Structure 1
Amino acid sequence: MNFLEFAKKYDTPLYVYDFNHFEKQYNELKQAFKARKSIIAYAIKANSNLSVIKKFASLGSGADCVSIGEVKRALLAGVDKYKIIFSGVGKRDDEIKEALDKDILMLNVESEAELKRIDEIAKSMNKEARISIRVNPDIDPKTHPYISTGLSENKFGVDIESAKKMYIYAKKSKNLNPIGIHFHIGSQLTELNPIKEASEIVANLVRSLKAINIDIKFFDIGGGLGIKYKDEDTIKPYDYAQAILSTLSGLDVTIICEPGRFLVGNGGWFLTKVLYEKINGDKRFVIVDGAMNDLIRPSLYNAYHKVEVISSVKNPQISKANIVGPVCESGDFFAKDIEVPQTNPGDLIVIHSAGAYGFTMSSNYNTRPRPCEIAIEDGKDRVIRRRETFEDLIACEIDYLI
């Protein structure tokens, strides 16, 4: 990757995505599940750029969506409607209605109250709502507490006994069709045993449901496969698939897998330019033109991202520094106390592993326009989202200015 060329051509801050990497990751995961019917449903929340979604749709991907906006993005980008799942703990009535109108594969139900609301809405529309229920297997995923979702203390899903009652209710309803079951214990998973244990619990629930003539057709294992940010031992897709498959003996189900970070995380970089350096006492700061509003993971999770300095003038002097941005918050940083060479204004800082939960979690805090996004595919670069302007930022306000 010629990051200096991209920075010169498109300016900074800038997101760069390697579409060939995305395709490689998708094919590796799809191949891992070749022994079974499967749908790889890209988790749009990881990177919701329409061109990214379109790339995965062209490979045959489905979509895991957590808002009606993401459902619309998936359809607009060419994802088959029967490969789209609508998840999320808080769906509004209008979102449920629109999802039913768009006839997507299924709505993923997170509570008894939601199940009954979907039933009422489907009845009022004289439609059948295809649903799955998110089961919380109460398994510790061994990941960051902010991205853990499979414990009883988390807001997601329902326990096994509640799920059974909900499936029985759905079976009796004229407007609900319970075709799937779902679990997802967390994100950035690097240990296989919790995943296998959760799958065993949910597979046994499917067997008990089939015994009372509730025919589950889709076994949704969620996503969460971790990637290497620093020195993590990650799970190989083949081992992941084999662990899941080993729990499904005797079950004729289509596996749905919902990867996001695994597909796009290490295929993205965030480029930001050095403005100047600053010394406060014995503390060194490298101040750059990117900020927490562009890439919030370090501030939000204290997440590690590899930092690379690209300079036109090689400087052998190396010392610890904080890489910080212009936003008016003490939490505005990309890295703290890392060893980096002395920098000059205009030097390039490359933040690695920024393809997932980078731009998609960005904001306009401090009235900062969001960066340009570019795609690299087969050696060619192109803009897939132009840099925002000040006029973009005020477009929804200007007509109301008194």
Structure 2
Amino acid sequence: MSQSYTALRPEFKEALLEAASQFETPFYAYDWPTIQERLERLQKAFPQTEIFYAIKANPRLGLLKRFLERGVFVEAVSLGEVLRAYQAGFRRNEVLLNGPVKTPAMLEALNRIGLPMLGLDSLADLERASRLLPRARVLLRVNPDLPIVTHDHLATGRGESKFGILPEEVGPALELARRSRLEVLGLHIHLGSALEHPEDYQAGYRVMDGLYRTHGPFEVMNLGGGFGLGLDLGALGAQAAALAHKHGAELWIEPGRYLVAEAGVLVTRCWGTKRTRRNYLLIDAGMSQLIRPMLYGAIHPVEPLYHNPRQATYDLAGPACESGDVLARDITLPEPREGDLLAILQAGAYAGSMSSNYLDTPRPLELLWTGQGWEVIRRRQSWEALLEDEL
């Protein structure tokens, strides 16, 4: 099946051409007006809801500070992300630390620098927190044991995933928590990422309804995130609000990709074509900058930033010495000249944040379009920086 290209906002497209005349490719660029529109859409669908932005989706300080200004809190999954949140200006009660592994060293460091709220992921996690941080404010993450429809790597709410406490373990976990001095705020589910089927959420809500009837009341109900880009949030938000209201709980959600994915592009240059048994377009971006196609089979739309009435169908091949370093397959584009530009779309989430130094490749520049001009929110990594930690 061939994939054709989509369209950028004209203003943003013009700004990308300006940026490409100043900065070396490949680079990431994010459109703040698009992020604002997504945030407003989410706030309309989930009014009177505490929104915790998932830092891992795109952790740039320039974005976090803007979210803070708009009353958005943050969700972290590592000590580094907590430190990043504090650097951006968030307070302890505006940061929720999730994740399946919290070592004693991590918990002791958090106790020194400022303890955020904790999402506890297992009985071992709970026991360790009660021993080392007895007055912590916590939520218990529940694995709802549901047949979530998404990529296997993203389906965190399936019973076989490594995340959360199974529903039948919630009672014993709460008994352990209440015997300690932990302050249990509520329960938490996160079904997965890139979910497009409202039925998955409705099934998760039914699990939470039963748990709150059996084990409540609780102050908070955290229904996670994972909203697919095409999901109808209006009806979903109303159902979530009704469920939280039924149990007298404050509603929390944890969006990441939904807010930033469509705002981001990876800009790359074309450096030739090559025909083997397939037709390749060779570009200067690849798996070191964007691992999602190789890791998840993710499909990113592509828009050419050049014109040619003649078209052809290509695979977009990156510079790595890996057969899998292909960012798109069977995509129809105008025939390029050397140096022509492509914008790889929907690259605002789990893209720059997952870039790597594989093959001693510097991590790319990241830019933010404010609507008035460009801001550098992450400099291109220097060649010297690649070696600075080595002996």
TM-score by length of 2: 0.93
- Offset, 1:207: 2.3
Aligned to 2:240: 244
1:113: how far off? 1.1
Residue deviations 1:107-133 (CA, integer Å, cap 9, x gap): 1111111111111112xxxx5121111
Partners of 2:71 and 2:101 in 1: CA distance: 28
Determine if the alignment matches structure 1 residue 287 to structure 2 residue 298: no
Superposition deviation, residue 9 in structure 1? 1.2
Q: 1:1-400 alignment to 2 at 5 Å?
A: 1=12, 2=14, 3-34=16-47, 36=48, 38-122=49-133, 127-174=134-181, 176-210=182-216, 215-227=217-229, 234-280=230-276, 282-311=277-306, 314-397=307-390, 400=391
The whole-number CA distance in structure 2 between the counterparts of 1:320 and 1:292 is 21
Report the Cα distance in structure 1 between the residues aligned to 2:361 and 2:355, rounded to whole angstroms. Answer: 10
**Relative to 1, partners in 2 of residues 1:132 and 1:101: Cα closer, same or farther, differing over 3 Å?**
farther
Native 8 Å contact 1:82 1:103 kept in 2: no
Moved over 6 A (4+): none
SS of 1:246 mapped into structure 2:
helix
Q: CA deviation at 1:222?
A: 0.6
The corresponding residue for 2:3 is none
Q: Is the 8 A contact 1:14 1:372 kept in 2?
A: yes
SS in 2 for 1:180: strand
Whichever residue aligns with residue 351 of structure 1, its letter is: I
Is 1:81–1:102's contact at 8 Å kept on the other side of the alignment? no
Aligned 8 A contact 1:100 1:129 in 2: no
Contact 1:83 1:104 in 2 (8 A): no
Please state whether the residue corresponding to 1:15 is helix, strand or coil. strand
Letter of the structure 1 residue corresponding to residue 173 of structure 2: M
CA contact (8 A) 1:321 1:336 kept: yes
Tell me, in whole angstroms, the C-alpha distance in 2 between the residues paired with 1:225 and 1:184.
10
Give the paired residue count: 378
Tell me by how many angstroms 1:318 deviates: 1.9
SS, match of residue 384 in structure 2: helix
The answer on whether the counterparts of 2:241 and 2:251 sit within 8 Å (CA) in structure 1 is no
User: Any unmatched runs of 5+ in structure 1?
Assistant: 228-233
Which whole-Å CA distance do the structure 1 matches of 2:119 and 2:158 have between them?
18
Compared with structure 1, are the counterparts of its residues 49 and 322 closer, same or farther at alpha carbon in structure 2 (3 Å cutoff)? Answer: same
CA 1:256–1:101 in 2, change beyond 3 Å: closer, same or farther? farther
Q: Describe the superposition over 1:161-202 as per-residue Cα deviations: whole angstroms up to 9, x where unpaired.
A: 21111011111113x121121001110011112102211211
Contact kept, 8 Å, 1:306 with 1:353, in 2: the verdict is: yes
The answer as to whether partners of 2:244 and 2:251 remain within 8 angstroms in 1 is no
Contact 1:61 1:79 in 2 (8 A): no
Q: CA deviation at 1:97?
A: 2.1
Distance 1:24 1:102, change over 3 A: farther
Q: Name the CA distance, whole Å, in 2 between partners of 1:151 and 1:326.
A: 36
Displacement of 1:278 in angstroms is 1.3
Residue pair 2:302, 2:343 contacting (<8 A) in 1 also: yes
Question: Which has the higher mean CA deviation after the structures are superposed, 339-348 or 244-253?
Answer: 244-253
CA deviations on 1:212-264 (whole Å, 9 max, x unpaired) are xxx4211111110011xxxxxx2222222112123335312111110000000
* Contact kept in structure 2, 1:196 and 1:247, CA below 8 Å: no
Kept in 2, the 8 Å contact 1:140–1:185? The answer is: no
Residue matched to 1:231? none
CA distance in 2 between counterparts of 1:100 and 1:22 reads 33
Maintained 8 Å contact 2:266/2:344: yes
SS of 2:17's partner is: helix
Confirm or deny: 8 A CA contact 2:221 2:249 kept in the other structure.
Answer: yes
Deviation at 1:204, TM superposition (A): 2.1
Distance 1:78 1:272, change over 3 A: same
Q: Deviations over 1:30-78 (max 9, x none)?
A: 23222x4x21000000001111111111111111100011111111112
Structure 2 CA distance for aligned equivalents of residues 103 and 170 of structure 1: 21
How far does residue 373 in structure 1 lie from its aligned partner after superposition?
0.5
1:5-32 CA-partner distances (Å, limit 9, x unpaired): 1111112101010112212212221232
The change in CA–CA distance for 1:23 and 1:58 in structure 2 (over 3 A counts) is: same
Q: CA shift at 1:105, angstroms?
A: 4.6
Of the structure 1 ranges 46-55 and 98-107, higher mean CA displacement relative to structure 2 is found in 98-107
TM-score in terms of structure 1 length: 0.91
Aligned to 2:244, the other structure's residue is in SS state: coil
Q: Which runs of 5+ in 2 are unaligned?
A: 1-11
